Every structure is written in structure tokens, then in C-alpha cells.
């Protein structure tokens, strides 16, 4: 794969195909922007829910993920007419949908960064002792100097970390994405899939839309220390009135108002920049309220 000189435009945490389902008849959905504390009506392609998910091989990633996304409309149709669970292919597509959105979420991107920072931190702390000769030789080759103190080895470790961050990290993340997706997909295959419908209240969707939780533990996503391999419950809204869950102890098939509010609370607790809702619905009322609180 060649270096991605011109990254693909329009990388999204939530695919436009799904965002369109949250829009009103005019094609716009209500979006709350955390940075500016504003609620606006925006079209799905108007620069919302964007991400720098893959900054090295984004064109290849977009082509690869599109192989899954082309199946989403048929799966959504099966969900709408309540035949999804009777069709194994549709169930597989719904698992793909959740795995893809978990992978591309702002929460996952943040968790990746947290993990890398921990790795670099451990290297800087340990390498002057465990890799002293390697750092000393690297220092000699780079500067011509002989390492005479721990601080000189730490300086060299910092330089090596900087080199990796500048030259190799984006490439590594890009290649790891395939493995991350497969790991999530394998885990989701082990969990029972359920489809739930909201009647009187509607669901919101944030830029970390796949909620991963463990019963009795705080947190609701990889960036909140609930990784996909540990989670015993996974949930994602795919339309304003449809929620997909994986795992034991699912909510009712027909969601109560309290259950809808609980899942919306999870979206609010995990989103990073954007959260959206169908304009004029109950979920939109919270967007409006949050925007007013800062005025």
C-alpha cells in the first residue's frame, strides 16, 4: 500500500447511509456540536461526524469498508419490516454494521491513542535500563556522543518515540484496523443479536455510537476502559426508533420510555464532538436544552 498522499474525503464515524435515517423530510438532522455548544440542522454530508480514522491508507480503507456498507440498506429494510432476525444474512450484516461503527468511532480512535501513549510512556521509563546498549548506540550514531548519563538515554528514547510518531504510527494504525475489525466481528459472533423498537420516544446517535458495557461496572466504551472483548452488552441505535443489542439481558423488544432514555444517556456519556437526533423528536429536545444551558 502506498502512502496516502491525498487522504479520502468524507471519512465518517457514522456512515451517511445511517445518518440519513435520522433526518427529517428536508434531509437535515438536528446536531449538537460539543465544541461550540450549538444545536443546528445539518445534512448528513455537511461536514458532521467526520473523523481522521485512517490518515495513511484511507482510500483503501474506504474501499474495504464499502464492501460492508453496500449491504446496509437491505438490512435496514429487513429491520423496518421486522423480518431481520429470520434471515441469517441480515443478522450477519447487522453484526458487520456494529463492528464497523465500533472501529470507526471517536471512542475507538481515542482509545487507540491512549493505548499508544501508555506504550510510549512505558518505553521511555524502562528502555534506559532494559535497552541501555541499544539507546547508547543509537545516540552515538545520531550525534557522535557517548552516553554518560541516564538523561542522555532518556533523550534518545524520546527521539526514537518521536520518529515512530512522525513516520510509522499512522501506517501502523491503518494496518491494525483490519485486525481490530475482525476482532470485534469475532466477538460479536459470540453474542446473541436482538432488535428493539421505540414507539413513543426516539433514540439519539453520537460519534461513538456503539455502546460497550459490563454489568455492574462504570463506563460505556473503549475510551472508558470497556473494551469490546470484555463487554457483556453491546448496543447501537441504527434509526430513531430501532436499537440493536448484542449479549445477555437485553431490554424489551418494544422499548419503554425509560429504556430509551437510558440508552440515550449512554450516547451522551460517550460522544466526543457530535450527537444527533431526528428534528422535532423527544431526543432533539435534549439537544436544544444542552445548547441553551451555555447561553
Q: Within 13 Å of residue 57, how many CA atoms lie on the same side as its CB?
A: 17
**Per-residue pLDDT tens over the stretch 206-226:** 999 999 999 989 988 878 888
pLDDT bin (cut points 50, 70, 90) of residue 83 is very high
| Cα 6 to Cα 55: distance, rounded to the nearest angstrom | 9
| Cα 281 to Cα 175: distance, rounded to the nearest angstrom | 40
Query: What is the Rg, in whole angstroms, of the alpha carbon atoms belonging to the chain?
Result: 22
User: How confident is the prediction for the chain on average, in pLDDT?
Assistant: 87
The three-state secondary structure class of 247 is: strand
The mean pLDDT of 63-85, rounded to a whole number, is: 86
What's residue 3's pLDDT?
46
Amino acid at each position: 500500500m502506498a502512502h496516502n498522499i491525498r487522504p479520502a474525503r468524507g471519512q465518517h464515524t457514522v456512515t451517511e447511509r445511517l445518518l440519513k435515517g435520522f433526518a427529517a423530510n428536508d434531509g437535515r438532522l438536528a446536531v449538537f456540536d460539543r465544541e461550540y455548544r450549538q444545536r443546528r440542522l445539518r445534512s448528513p454530508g455537511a461536514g458532521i461526524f467526520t473523523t481522521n480514522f485512517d490518515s495513511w491508507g484511507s482510500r483503501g480503507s474506504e474501499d474495504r469498508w464499502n464492501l460492508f456498507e453496500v449491504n446496509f440498506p437491505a438490512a435496514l429494510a429487513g429491520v423496518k419490516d421486522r423480518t431481520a432476525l429470520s434471515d441469517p444474512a441480515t443478522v450477519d450484516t447487522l453484526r458487520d454494521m456494529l463492528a464497523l461503527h465500533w472501529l470507526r468511532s471517536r471512542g475507538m480512535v481515542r482509545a487507540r491513542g491512549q493505548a499508544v501513549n501508555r506504550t510510549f510512556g512505558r518505553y521511555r521509563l524502562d528502555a534506559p535500563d532494559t535497552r541501555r546498549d541499544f539507546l547508547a548506540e543509537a545516540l552515538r550514531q545520531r550525534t557522535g556522543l557517548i552516553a554518560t548519563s541516564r538523561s542522555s538515554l532518556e533523550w534518545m528514547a524520546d527521539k526514537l518515540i518521536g520518529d515512530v510518531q512522525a513516520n510509522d504510527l499512522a501506517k501502523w494504525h491503518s494496518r491494525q484496523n483490519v485486525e481490530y475489525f475482525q476482532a470485534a466481528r469475532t466477538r460479536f459472533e459470540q453474542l446473541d443479536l436482538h432488535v428493539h423498537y421505540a414507539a413513543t420516544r426516539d433514540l439519539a446517535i453520537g460519534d461513538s455510537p456503539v455502546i460497550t458495557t459490563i454489568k455492574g461496572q462504570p463506563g460505556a466504551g473503549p475510551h472508558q476502559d470497556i473494551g469490546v472483548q470484555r463487554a457483556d452488552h453491546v448496543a447501537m441505535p441504527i434509526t430513531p426508533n430501532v436499537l440493536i443489542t448484542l449479549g445477555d439481558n437485553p431490554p424489551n423488544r418494544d422499548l419503554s420510555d425509560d429504556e430509551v432514555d437510558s440508552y440515550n444517556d449512554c450516547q451522551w456519556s460517550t460522544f466526543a464532538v457530535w450527537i444527533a437526533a431526528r428534528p422535532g423528536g423527544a431526543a432533539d429536545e435534549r439537544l436544544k436544552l444542552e445548547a441553551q444551558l451555555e447561553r
